[in-house]
């Protein structure tokens, strides 16, 4: 994708999704990542190309050869799932300025741009407290917290340690994710609000005749347009990808290549989206604010 005068090339890599699937899948953030990276490279006068290393005939070694032949020295990596360990990858890291989007490349370490997960869950809890919720739970499949490098669990556990003992609820972050297990947890603890990721719990609660948000608010940490009825936080995927481009371009301008000695992590703030699954609770006494700075 080339527009205008091109100073250099930046490559946008997706590990395991072909182009057609990325365009068609509203659930995945990859198309948003690509749009953000494309807009930023155009602003800076750089070109952007797309590669999928699992397409037929492609490999990490082959990708290195192609980029070398085309004179491409910048690489923004955005993946659908957590990637492989370095022992499984043959990309010539030393030849490129590198940055990843999200915690999807556990090894090798390189510059990365992520949502500020700890701050996001703190802001979600603060909003719920200000809107009258007191007993706040969290429920999601464990792989979602794994993908976020456990920042969801960390933020929630910090809140639990600071909350009144009568308001504390054990987390429901589990690999045993299903309607029966979730409803058992809900009936046992009766939270005022539940922090989650997708819309599973909304459907499960409504099937049990639980009124949302009158009886319980449901707030997502991962708002997406295909489930915009949810109240919660959008992680600004376009901004994340643009920031990854900035990291790569800065390294290119400094003539820096290869895995950095001290990798940088850039944290992007999420934005609140109003939906239909959260509302203020009337006639509830105010409580002190959540005692963690939530930027």
What pLDDT score does 79 carry?
76
Which among 46, 261, 218, 16 is positioned nearest to 128, based on CA atoms? 218
Q: What is the mean pLDDT of the chain?
A: 86
What gap in Å lies between CA 87 and CA 80, rounded to an integer? 20
For the chain, give the percent of residues with pLDDT over 70.
87
Cα Dmax for the chain: 67
Q: Which residue has the higher pLDDT, 291 or 145?
A: 145
Q: Which three-class secondary structure state does DSSP give residue 155?
A: helix
What pLDDT score does 48 carry?
87
Phi, psi of 63 (to 5 degrees): -60, -45
Poorest-pLDDT segment among 30-39, 73-82, 223-232, 240-249: 73-82
Residue 15 tokens, joined: 């590990």
Q: Which residue has the higher pLDDT, 172 or 57?
A: 172
What gap in Å lies between CA 168 and CA 125, rounded to an integer? 13
Q: Which residue has the higher pLDDT, 22 or 155?
A: 155
In this prediction, residue 107 has a pLDDT band, given cuts at 50, 70 and 90, of confident
In this prediction, residue 87 has a pLDDT band, given cuts at 50, 70 and 90, of very low
What pLDDT score does 88 carry?
46
pLDDT, one tens digit per residue, over 193-222 is 999 999 999 999 999 999 999 999 999 999
What gap in Å lies between CA 249 and CA 99, rounded to an integer? 10
pLDDT, one tens digit per residue, over 254-279 is 999 999 999 999 999 999 999 999 99
Q: Which residue has the higher pLDDT, 276 or 5?
A: 276
Above 90 in pLDDT, residue 66?
no
What pLDDT score does 50 carry?
83
Q: Which residue has the higher pLDDT, 250 or 89?
A: 250
pTM as predicted: 0.87
What pLDDT score does 105 carry?
75
What pLDDT score does 282 carry?
76
**CA angle, corner 164, sides to 163 and 167, nearest 5?**
85
What pLDDT score does 1 carry?
35
Pairing of strands 231-234, 271-273: antiparallel
Do residues 98 and 245 make contact, with C-beta atoms less than 8 angstroms apart? Answer: no
Above 50 in pLDDT, residue 2?
no
What pLDDT score does 6 carry?
39
């Amino acid at each position: 994708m080339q527009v205008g005068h091109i100073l250099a090339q930046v490559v946008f890599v997706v590990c395991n999704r072909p182009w057609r699937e990325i365009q068609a899948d509203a659930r995945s953030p990859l198309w948003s990542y690509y749009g953000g990276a494309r807009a930023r490279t155009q602003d800076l006068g750089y070109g952007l190309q797309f590669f999928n290393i699992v397409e037929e005939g492609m490999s990490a070694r082959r990708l290195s050869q192609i980029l070398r032949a085309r004179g491409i020295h910048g690489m923004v990596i955005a993946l659908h799932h957590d990637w492989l360990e370095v022992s499984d990858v043959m990309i010539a890291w030393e030849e490129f300025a590198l940055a990843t989007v999200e915690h999807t490349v556990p090894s090798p370490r390189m510059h990365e741009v992520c949502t500020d997960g700890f701050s996001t869950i703190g802001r979600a809890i603060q909003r719920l407290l200000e809107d009258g919720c007191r007993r706040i739970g969290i429920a999601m499949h464990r792989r979602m917290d794994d993908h976020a490098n456990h920042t969801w669990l960390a933020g929630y556990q910090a809140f639990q340690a600071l909350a009144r003992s009568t308001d504390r609820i054990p987390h429901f972050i589990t690999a045993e994710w299903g309607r029966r297990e979730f409803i058992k947890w809900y009936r046992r603890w009766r939270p005022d609000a539940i922090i989650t990721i997708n819309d599973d719990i909304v459907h499960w609660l409504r099937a049990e005749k639980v009124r949302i948000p009158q009886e319980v608010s449901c707030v997502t940490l991962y708002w997406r347009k295909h489930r915009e009825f949810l109240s919660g936080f959008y992680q600004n995927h376009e901004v994340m990808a643009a920031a990854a481009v900035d990291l790569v371009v800065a390294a290119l301008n400094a003539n820096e290549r290869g895995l950095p000695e001290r990798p940088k992590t850039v944290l992007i703030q999420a934005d609140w989206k109003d939906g239909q699954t959260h509302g203020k609770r009337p006639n509830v006494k105010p409580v002190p604010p959540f005692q963690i700075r939530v930027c």
